[in-house]
Structure 1
Amino acid sequence: MVEQFIQETVQLIQTLPPVSIYLVFFTVAYVENVLPPIPGDVLVAFGGYLAAESVIGLLPILLLTTIASVFGFMSMYWIGSKWGEQIEGSPKGVRLLRFIPVEYLNKVRSWMQQWGMGVVLANRFLAGTRSVISLAAGLGHTKVSATILCSAISSVLWNSILLGFGWVVHENWRLIGEYLSIYGRIILGGVALYLLIRIGIYYYRK
């Protein structure tokens, strides 16, 4: 399903004029922060390939995807800030976002209490946790200006890497998706290991 989405989006982009291409990338970068199954990272890498082919500009696509990522992050932040009590009161998950377990959300909140805005700063590099981090930031009512700044720095760094790789590998940009998949598994495995260690330490001390 993900591969089909990528294929259809790429085919659509190849038929559009540059202005419309920018709009598609902006939309994908925004929605990817709200609905994690959207493979936004792979498509941003495709943007690097298009920039190398001079179809679009490298700086404009970096700027637009970064702005869209920050808007997406802050949209989830707003949801967490506005409906925090309802979200935390749900025993099975978030009504609007069933893919986010409350237990996972609470764990991310504990990370933020421990490391503060550093979690927001690293959010783009933590595959599979981005929406949870933005939601947790809203629940915690972190300072808006600092949250925007940290999410912007994280987004511009991550998008620069993706666009750069897309530019370098050129027509082999799809390979980046495979490496991102491996990277995501490593990150999620690391998170799971961290949770197991914390649980083990808790019961050992108890």
Structure 2
Amino acid sequence: MIEQFTREIVQLIQNLPPVSIYLVFFLVAYFENVIPPIPGDVLVAFGGYLAAESVVGLIPILVLTTVASVLGFMSMYWIGHRWGAQIEQKQKGVRVLRFIPVKYLNKVRLWMQQWGVGVVLANRFLAGTRSVISLAAGLGHTRISSTVLCSTISSVLWNGILLGFGWVVHENWKLIGEYLSIYGKVILGMVVLYVLIRIGIHYYRK
């Protein structure tokens, strides 16, 4: 389903004028933070390929995807800040909560208690946890200025890397999706291992 969505977006972009292409990338980068299944990273890499083909400008794409990523992050931050209690209690009365991944929320909150906004700084590199991190940041009422700054730095670095790879590998940009999948599994494995180690240490000390 995700692959089909990616193909459809790519086909759409290839038939659009440059101005509309920028808009599509902005929307993809924004909603990728709000609706995690959207394959925003692969499409950003495709943007690097388009920049190499001089269809769009590399810097404008980087700026737009970064701004959209930060806006998406802060949108989820606002949801966490506004409906934090309902999210934790999993109340069904708030419709927007049905689309919020709360499974790992408590774990991410523990990370933030230990590393603070450093988790926000690393959020773009932590595949599968981005929307949860932004929710946890809002729930924890982290300072907005620090949150925006760290989110911006993280987005600039991550999007810059993806665009650079898309530029370098050129027409083989789809391979980046395969490597991102492997990367995501490695990150997930490391997170699970870390949690297990912390649990083991906790019981050992007891």
| TMscore range, shorter length | over 0.9
Residue type of the partner of 2:65? Answer: T
Q: Distance in 2 between matches of 1:89 and 1:99?
A: 13
Q: Shift in Å at residue 97 of structure 1?
A: 2.7
Deviation at 1:198, TM superposition (A): 1.1
- Residue by residue over 1:28-64, the C-alpha shift from the partner in whole angstroms, topping out at 9 and shown as x without a partner, is 0000001111000000000000000000000000000
C-alpha offsets along residues 72-126 of structure 1, whole Å, 9 cap, x if unaligned? 000000000000011111289x83335331xx21111111111111100000000
Q: Describe how 1:1-206 pairs up with structure 2 within 5 A.
A: 1-90=1-90, 95-101=97-103, 104-206=104-206
Give the secondary structure class of the aligned counterpart of 2:98. Answer: coil
Moved over 3 A (4+): none
Instruction: Report the RMSD for the aligned CA atoms in angstroms.
Output: 1.3
Number of residue pairs aligned between Structure 1 and Structure 2? 203
Which stretch of structure 1 is more off in the superposition, 167-176 or 82-91?
Answer: 82-91
CA distance in 2, matches of 1:142, 1:69: 18
- Distance in 2, Cα, partners of 1:100 & 1:110: 14
Q: Distance in 2 between matches of 1:145 and 1:151?
A: 10
> TM-score, normalised to structure 1's length?
0.96
Quick one: distance in 1 between partners of 2:91 and 2:112? Answer: 22
Runs of 5+ in structure 1 lacking a partner? none
Aligned residues with identical type, % of pairs: 80
